Each structure stands twice: as C-alpha cells, then as structure tokens.
Chains A and B, each alone.
Chain A
Amino acid sequence: MKTEAMVEAALAPSDYLVVAPVVVCLVFGAILLMIRKRIDWHPFLAIPGFFLVLAADVLLLLKVAAEGPQTMMMGGWKAPFGIAFTVDMLGALFVTASGFVAFAAAIYASVSISRTERRYGFFPFLFLMMAGVSGAFLTGDVFNLYVWFEVLLIGSFGLLILGSEHEQLDGATKYCFLNLVATTLFLITTGYLYGLFGTLNMADIAEKAGGFENDGALLTIVVLFLVAFSAKAAAFPLNFWLPASYHTPRFVVSALFAGLLTKVGVYALIRIVLMLFPPQHAELAPLIAWVAALTMLVGAFGALAQSDLRRLLNYFVVAGIGTIFAGLALVGGEGTPGAASLASAAAAATPDVVASAAAPLLPAAGNLVVGLSGAVFYALHSIVVMTALYLAAGTAARIAGSSSLRDMGGLWRGKPALAALMLVFLFAVSGLPPFSGFWPKVVLVRGAFQAGLPWLGAVILFTGFLMTVASARIFALAFWRNAPEPAVAGVPGGSFDPQGEASPALSMAPLLILAAFVVAAGVMPQWLVTLTDIAARGVVDPAAYLGSVFGGAS
C-alpha cells in the first residue's frame, strides 16, 4: 500500500533546486538568529546567503527553461495527498526577480541598518520573509500557499516595526490588520474550495474544475479569491492600506515591501484565478478591467498629490499594480499571435532561445497570452524598479536630510551619479524608452486594443503620462533645483531618521546592480519577452504543469 502512495524514483541533487530557495533562506535565517548577539558577522553571512538564494533561483530558472515545469513532492507522497512544490516558468521568473532584489537590498541594508536594529533581528526577519516569498512562488498547493503568506507576513511584521517608533506602529497596525483580514478571507475561501473539490493540489483542482457543474459556487469562490488577492496586491477599492503604511519603516524595508509583497498577491491571483478557473476568470474579466483602470488612476493621481518622496512612490506602486491587472483583463476579441512576434519585430531579434515558445494555441486564448505576458513582464520590471526607486530615494533622503520634496534639492550638482541613476529609474517607472517599463506597456496597450478594450489602453497611456509628470516633479524638485534654505531642525517630513540610512558611496552598488537589469530589459527585451511568453502560455494551457505533477516521478 505504501509503495502506491509514494514517489519511488531516485532524485538527482539538481532536483532539489525546487526547494533550494526556501531551504537556503530558512537555514541562513536560523543561523543568523542563533548568533544574533554577534551583529558584526551578520552582513558577512547575510550577503553570501542572499547570493546563494539568487544563485539557486537562477539555476532553477535555467532548469525550468530547459526542462519545463519541475515538481517535488514533500515527503515523497504522491500528488493529491502530499504537498507539491511545483515550479513553472511563471514561478521561476518571479522567484528569480525576488532573489535579485533581495540580494541588492541586503547589500544596501548592510550599510544602512543600525547596530541596534540588527540586534533586533533585521537579517533573520529578512530571510524569513524571503523564505515566505519564495515559498509562495514555488508551491503547488493552495493551503501551502496560504502558509507561505503567513510566513512572509510574520517576517514583514518584524521588519515593519524595527525602529519601534510611534509612526511605525501606527503604519504597522493598519498594515497588519488589513493583511490579516485578507489572509483570513483567503483561508476561508480555501476551506470552501476544499469543500467543493476535496483537494487543494493546484494541478488536481485544475483538472477537476473543467468538468465541474456547480458554477455558482465556483464563481463565488473565484470572486472571494479575487477580493483576497486584490487586497494583498493593493488594487483599487482595497488599496488604502499601502499608502498608509509603506512610508514608515526603513527605506530598505519599504523597498522590499514595495517590490515584493504586492507582487506575491498578483502572482497568487494569476496562479489561482487565471490558471485554475479560466471560465470564471473570463466572466470576471470586465470587473478586473475596471479595477485595473481605477487602480491606475488612483495611483497616478495620488502620486501627483504627494509632496513626500516616499509617499509619492507608494502611489507609484499602486499604479503599477493597476497596470499589471490590466494585463489580466484581456480576454475575448480576435486571436492573434503571441507577444513574441511583437517583440521580435520591435527589438533586435535573438531567435536562438525562442524555440519552445512556438506552440500553437486556441485563437480565443491569444489575447490572454498577450496580456498575461505583458503583465508578467510588467510585474518583473515593477519588482526591480520599485525596489530601486525606494533605495535611491533612501540615499537621496539621507544626503538631503529629508524625504520631503519641499526640503530636498541640489542633488544633481552634489551627486550626479545618483541623480543619473534616479533618472533612469524614473524613466523606467513612467514607461519611457529605452528602459524596462516601456516594452511591457507596449505589449499591454497593444493587447488592450486587440482585445476590444481601447479605453483600457487609453487609461494605461494616460497613467503613463501622469506618472511621467509625477516623476518630473521628483526630479525637478529634489535633484534639479538648487537646495532650498535649510529647514528647521524638527524635520518637517517627520518619517525620516538620518541615522538609519545608507552611507552614499556603499549604497550605490545595489543601485547599479538593479539599474543593470533595468537597462538590459529595456535595450534587449527579447530574452525576457520570450520567457514571459512561455510563462503566459504555461498559465493559459497548464498541460505541462499538470504533467509535471501527475506524470512520472518528479
């Protein structure tokens, strides 16, 4: 009996890459917690640790690109019973992007986080949060996804209140409460899901959902998931917690939160709503389109209204989430070839990696593939660029002594390199060429027109325009103009503590690393579009994902 329920085939060590990002994070987190008194060692362990995580992520991405989706069954129990870790191109891309920004942020943190805060456990919490984020991207089980959400939440709570300042506790209360509500909703919905299907394995659900008759119950579940993940991702009606809390912790913590945590919500939405329940998703697509448009507008107008650099960036995060959601709303209309053809026309073609992206698709799924590919590309771009912007803002605020745009100024003359990098990131976040934000927006706008939603395309463009204006405000006020008269000692921005931020010289290294991606993805988008295209096809037609879970040993 035991042999029937268990996976028997032997594994090569390289198969362990599927769990490696989580395992490395947990091991390093535990070790750092054990030696938490020796805070001088922390950066020297943490930076190699995050490098290892990144290396594991990249190797996993290469393996998935070469061999297709990978599965590991925890404890060797077979699919519907054991917990599966299944990683396809979508998960591999997200986990690699998260490892990339975590590595950069760890370097930044090693010079910016004070000794007291290290003693309170900055790096262990960071590893714990990254274990949660990586686990959420890698798992193939809905309940396990919930568990990883909890793990990353616990890590993020710790990071959020690190300074124990009044304002941080205020922000943390809002953040914790609303995230717990969303997580509870997620858990309740997972309970309904289990009641309906009797399984929580994603591949199993995807197989069973096709022949399911009780459409009303299924639609209810999908709507509940949509609400829970929208709250996590800070989409429009549920976005208010993000601008209320993300400006209170240290800049490097804000950077990681802005880059990663909302994207975990987006990822879960793609994985569960789009991959498992395509008919229900198609029914809800008009709603998602409206949510996307309103999120973009709220984010863009909110950004225009802010005078504090970090609060302004908070709204950029929201606008970015709206742009990603726009890509998830593109169904219907005439089918067209995938985004790969567009990119090959737009960029210098490097066709040697395209081979596996050429599988034929149902015509109706064509728009969704285009939209999804654009959305994933935009999400990856957003992970990197938002992290980079917050880190750059942290350095700028440290030099200027304030994060309020009213008090900053003169950085162009004083720090030309920082100003140039900031300009690159601002161009990228506004979607201007030749940086990474441009191509996903091209894909999304074109996809929106093809899918018969020209107004949505118009909103994407209009949001891009507003964000350009907001970016121009940042650059003109904080960098270009001469420094205003020194402000009174009380620091009007309030949220800024100059003690805790990076010394400028060392904090440039992570910015350069992140800028390298922004430029690479902007100048040569072909490789990334190829990968996101594979990811999108894998979600729309998850046959390979199912095969990886059920077919064969691993």
Chain B
Amino acid sequence: MRTIIFRFTAPYLTALMVLFSIFVLLRGHNEPGGGFIGGLIAASALAIYGIACGVVAVRRSLHFHPMSISAAGLFLAVVAGLLSLPVGSQFMTGLWVFPTVFGTELALSTPLIFDIGVYLVVVGSISSIALALEERESD
C-alpha cells in the first residue's frame, strides 16, 4: 500500500477528513451527525494515515496515547452531565448559552460538550484498536 501517490495524498486526505469529522460533530445536534459519527470519520482518517505512513507516524502525530484521548472524552462527557449540578437541575440536563461573537450568535451547550466527549472516546478507542491491528500486520 505504500506507493508514492498514496503516501503523498494520505496526509491531505487525513487532514480533510479530520476537518470534516469536526464539521459533522458540530452540526450534530439538530441535523444528522454528532460525536459518534464524527469520531468514526476521524478514526478512519487516522487509520488511512497509518496504512500510508506507518503506525509510528500516527502515534507521533497524535501526541497522546489513544486510550488517554478516550479517557479524556469520558471525563468530558461526565463533566458535561455534572454541569447541571450547580444550576440545580437534573443530571445531564441540557444547558444552553447564546453568546454573540463577531456579530454571529453561537449556540453553545452541555450536549455539545457531551458530544465532544463522545467524539474523543470514539476516536481514542477505535484508533487504538486500528493501530494495534496495523502494528500486528507489520510484524
């Protein structure tokens, strides 16, 4: 699989797919998309990068171990649920704020934080499995 064409295009492809996965993640609340699908797209992007340029390159570019990313996502998701504690509503109640940044109204919410957590859990766990499998192949 390590043809020069593939190795040349894979980083661009990966970058595009990760960007697209973030787009899917952010549009997910009211439209198709969300953390799970976004995470799958990002994980497959990393898998492509791994097939083209090797597992070591992926691990270096991720900086954190995939399992740590997963754990951070889990932590973020729980924290998103706990944010309803200070306002005195039920666990995991959706809280929304609409700040205006540069003339655009942004919809920020705890479901978004939760979704980012899901995204990280999926990216971390799937790419951890995928990288392990790719590593095994090269042995």
Task: Show the binding face of A for B, using Cβ within 8 Å.
Answer: 7, 10-13, 16, 18-19, 23, 26-27, 29-34, 36, 72-76, 85, 121, 124, 554
Contact = CB atoms under 8 A, between A and B. Distances in A.
Interface string B73-112: 0110010011011001111111000000000000000000
B9 interface: no
A163 B20 CA distance: 40
Interface of B: 65, 67-68, 70-72, 74-75, 78, 81-82, 84-85, 88-94
Given A23-B78, A23-B81, A76-B93, A33 B71 contact: yes
Given A12-B88, A26-B74, A33-B67, 15 more contacts: A10-B89, A11-B88, A23-B78, A23-B81, A23-B82, A30-B72, A30-B75, A30-B78, A33-B74, A34-B68, A34-B71, A36-B67, A36-B68, A72-B90, A76-B92
A33 B70 contact: yes
Contacts of A31: 71, 75
B74 A30 contact: yes
A520 B8 CA distance: 71
A29 B74 contact: yes
A7 B85 CA distance: 14
B107 to A, nearest CB: 16
Contacts of B88: 10-12
B90 A74 contact: yes
The 5 closest A-B pairs by CB, nearest first: A33-B71, A30-B75, A10-B88, A76-B93, A76-B90
A49 B81 CA distance: 19
A75 B93 contact: yes
Contacts, number: 65
Contacts of B90: 7, 11, 72-76, 554
Nearest to B87: A10
B85 A16 contact: yes
A19 B91 contact: yes
8 contacts: A16-B85, A72-B91, A74-B90, A75-B94, A76-B89, A76-B92, A76-B93, A76-B94
A308 B94 CA distance: 54
Contacts of B93: 75-76
A29 B68 CA distance: 11
Given A30-B71, A33-B68, A34-B68, A74 B92 contact: yes
B67 to A, nearest CB: 6
A74 B82 CA distance: 11
Nearest to B70: A33
A76 B94 CA distance: 8
A34 B78 CA distance: 15
Nearest to B110: A75
Most-contacted residue by chain A among B65, B68, B93 (CB, 10 A): B93
A139 to B, nearest CB: 12
Contacts of B71: 29-34, 36, 124
Contacts of A85: 91
A14 B70 CA distance: 30
Most-contacted residue by chain A among B81, B89, B90 (CB, 10 A): B90
Given A36-B67, A124-B71, A11 B89 contact: yes
A206 B20 CA distance: 46
A523 B72 CA distance: 47
Contacts of B84: 76
A436 to B, nearest CB: 34
Nearest to B71: A33
Most-contacted residue by chain B among A10, A23, A30, A33 (CB, 10 A): A30
Contacts of B82: 23
A85 B67 CA distance: 29
Contact of B72 (A19, A34, A74, A75): A34
Contacts of B72: 30, 34
Nearest to A13: B85
Contacts of A26: 74, 78
A124 B65 CA distance: 15
A94 to B, nearest CB: 20
A166 to B, nearest CB: 19
A17 to B, nearest CB: 11
Contacts of B67: 33, 36, 121
A19 B90 CA distance: 10
B51 to A, nearest CB: 27
A31 B67 CA distance: 11
Contacts of B81: 23
Contacts of A33: 67-68, 70-71, 74
Contacts of B94: 75-76
Contacts of B91: 16, 18-19, 23, 72, 74-75, 85
Nearest to A10: B88
Nearest to A25: B78
Contacts of A72: 90-91
Nearest to B67: A33
Contacts of A12: 88
Contact of A34 (B75, B85, B89, B92): B75
A18 B65 CA distance: 33
Contact of A27 (B65, B68, B78): B78
A12 B88 CA distance: 6
A33 B124 CA distance: 12
Contacts of A30: 71-72, 74-75, 78
B120 to A, nearest CB: 10
Nearest to B86: A13
Contacts of A121: 67
Nearest to B93: A76
